[in-house]
Chains A and B, each alone.
Chain A
Amino acid sequence: MSQEKEPRRRFLRQVLAIVPATTLGGTTAVAVSNIASADAPEPGKARAYQPTYFNAAEWAFINAAVDHLIPSDQYGAGALETGVPEFIDRQMETPYGAGKLWYMQGPFHTDLVPELGYQLSLVPRDIYRQGIAACNDWCTKNLGKVFADLDKAKQLDVLKQMEGGKIAFDALPAKTFFSFMLGNTKEGYFADPMYGGNQKMGGWKMVGFPGARADYLDWVDQYNVKYPYGPVSILGEKG
């Protein structure tokens, strides 16, 4: 099925890329936006995905954790249905995941005030691997089960304790692990869907962001009037 759709998507991408910017009206994005997602999942669920970096236990942890960070609720889609775990897994395979965007030469001074910035020697791939293992160890010792197997209320409590730095891990500060996971979860929820998260532009719809439309000359002077169009993505999906 996806084989039929892919050439058309690629074609539209190329067309979009060669249209002179000055001729792109707000309607252009609408015109190309009737493209169905190649592998449409069930309503309320992210598309199927096999993680590349995370192992099964880690994948279970990530899925359980992000559901608390951005739950599905009355305000809109949540992290699970928008594919945030897929986003995080795919980010691990990028230069960011490998810490290649950061200055990583030592010595590492880890006892300074937080205002002087990140000073650990760990890169995102390490932070997740060691953070998940440490949290699962802590949960097993103190609560008898790994994080993903705990009931929801206990999971929530563990996350709050990590955020507040009330749990101490040997491998890395629990707070650091939590803040990376939260930051990446929000990125996945709000970044363009081509990165794996924000599926069906659920994150953008939650907040009311029109995505890659990026052309509002016709609406600047519409004071206090709701913008009427839903989001479009970089690859031309319509929300």
Chain B
Amino acid sequence: MAIKKDKVDVVMVGLGWTGAIMGMELTEAGLNVLALERGDMRDTNTDTPYPKAVDELKYSVRGALFQDLSRETVTIRYGVADTAVPYRQHGSFLLGDGVGGAGFHWNGMMYRNLPEELNMRTHHEQKYGKKFIPEDMTIQDHGVTYEELEPFYDFSEKLMAVSGKAGNLKGKIVAGGNPLEGARTDEFPTKPLQYQYSASLVEKAMRDVGYHPYPAPAANASEPYTNPYGVRLGPCNYCGFCENYGCYMYSKASPQTTILPVLLKRKNFEVRTKAQVIKVNLDASGKRATGVTYIDAQGREVEQPADLVLLTAFQTHNVRLLLLSGIGKPYDPVTGEGVVGKNFAYQYNGGINVVMPKGTQFNPFIGTGAGGVGMDDLNADQFDHGPLGFIGGASIRHVRYGGRPIKQTGTMPGEKVPNWGSEWKGSVQDAYQRTLTIGMSGSVMAYRDCYLSLDPTYKDANGQPLLRMTLNWKENEGKMLTYIAGEMEKVGQAMNPEKVVKAVRKTGSSWDTRVYQSTHLTGGAIMGTTPKNSVINKYLQSWDVPNVFVYGASAFPQNMGYNPTGLVTALAYHSAKAIREQYLKNPGPLVQA
């Protein structure tokens, strides 16, 4: 028989970015908040101090901070008629685990959306006509505008001590920043990180070609900073161990370096680790959640009653839990009916490799997670798509992450070199100091046959069905990146290099799940304007069960070229404000269906 715990006001599933933010906001409102985290407690001083932290084999290769796939993974297939197989080893995306979640081992790329990305369908229909959007492309508006989210983007940047330079302050274009961004109410909290040599060359070339380069916003503090919660961050030292690692310098924003030092001390906050939630419990009507059931460290089932249930886990887990709990109607790709699992999307990336003359010294090991030079001229709808016949674009940036030898040493781009032996060694040695990559992080639209569901065969360590991904690349994205790579090749050429080599997959090739692409998986519990087209409303509240809220990138109706964390945290703060100011006074739907 299940153990039953005392009721709390709020129970949260997962203690990563959104859990930490909601924990902070709702304890401040006086509620008792409990976070159930399936992984371990993690912190900088205990888990990732120098020099233990700078261990490439342990963190990047064996994935010490990643989800334990032996217990739970996902399955993947390309088409609705295929049999899905398990994602047995980490490759294409790197799922997080433990307190802080993927927010502990991310890079710190912290972007706001371009305003047109939040009303994708309306914007494109108005500008290019209704027929411009293909029939099987199920993109839609978020139901919330850039202007509504601006104060929350602003607060998120301050929370994370984001380094950068404003380009549009209250509608006025200011020099040094991104002139294409949406209007901001305030400057970035810390100044931009310094450009390494390679970034300085890319910046000049982008400008020479006529684009608008700007210092990439980075949740890697460039100077000492105290955030609005009173937590202090230190300046980044360009150590080159950011993504896949905990930041021993307390420079990269994570729940640990920005929120938890305050939140964990609050008397009305509790975290239970090694607590894997298996179900959101509903009352007999099916319209009200009564709490959750989890499995504790000893393998016991525990029932945790609560008035409010917040799904603050990663995108995949939120969707899976909705499906396991029977909240909302599962999506059916054949009929197009149902919403849970709908509009699963990803990103479509490529790069421009530039090889500079022999003797060039980039010192590639001098790296940061997110600092560098970016441009938005080819992102979203910042260029005329009319004659091009595709939708979407890419955020483009050159970031030097580090020159870590196991994963970040390649042979000379564009040359057919053996993968081993003396020729391999010579090529790696030659390429290491004089190559750079300009990355293109491409948007992926939503499609009728790309979705999430429960796998009929494979189970996790608790015997529950794994989440099944059905996804493959589409022609639209292939056209998009081919076009953008062609344009970016000109930037590479403007650097007077020895050569420029495009690294863009062939249109028509399938998703390669073995190679890291990005952890920016989106959709499946999408937001929108009506229960017919979405799982949650603009405040991330379930249409079907109004005392359940669903956070994270599972809310995105399609994926953008940018990294998702900025929108994820802004949506969380936007939701928190609505809960505090409206829901708590009058618990019920915040938007009438």
Contact = CB atoms under 8 A, between A and B. Distances in A.
Interface residues of A, number: 63
B426 A75 contact: yes
Contacts of B360: 224
Sorted from nearest, which 9 A-B pairs have the closest CB atoms? A214-B239, A190-B405, A191-B57, A223-B197, A216-B366, A75-B425, A103-B73, A216-B238, A115-B512
Interface of B: 49-52, 54-57, 61-63, 68-70, 72-73, 76, 83, 85-89, 91, 194, 196-197, 200, 234-241, 248-250, 360-361, 363, 365-366, 403-406, 409, 419-422, 424-426, 428-429, 432-433, 457-459, 510-514
Contacts of A100: 70
Contacts of B459: 105
Interface of A: 16-17, 19, 21-22, 24, 29, 68-71, 73-76, 96, 100-105, 107, 109, 112-119, 163, 182, 185-187, 190-192, 195, 203-204, 206-210, 212, 214-217, 219-227, 234
B406 A192 contact: no
23 contacts: A17-B51, A19-B50, A21-B234, A69-B420, A70-B421, A74-B422, A75-B422, A75-B429, A76-B429, A101-B69, A103-B69, A112-B85, A115-B511, A117-B85, A117-B87, A117-B91, A119-B85, A208-B433, A209-B365, A215-B237, A216-B363, A217-B237, A220-B238
A223 B204 CA distance: 14
Among A70, A117, A212, find the residue whose CB has the most chain B CB atoms closer than 10 A.
A117
A182 B514 contact: no
Contacts of B514: 114-115, 117-118
Given A69-B421, A117-B89, A212-B51, A217 B62 contact: no
Contacts of A24: 50
Nearest to B406: A190
B294 to A, nearest CB: 21
Given A71-B421, A73-B425, A76-B429, A101 B238 contact: no
Nearest to A25: B237
A76 B421 CA distance: 12
Contacts of B70: 100-104
A230 B200 CA distance: 25
A208 B52 contact: no
A118 B91 CA distance: 10
A172 to B, nearest CB: 15
Given A70-B425, A208-B429, A216 B420 contact: no
Contacts of A118: 88-89, 514
A195 to B, nearest CB: 6
Contact of B62 (A101, A119, A208): A101
A215 B248 CA distance: 11
Given A109-B85, A206-B429, A207-B432, A216 B76 contact: no
B52 A68 contact: no
Contact of B425 (A114, A206, A217): A206
A160 to B, nearest CB: 9
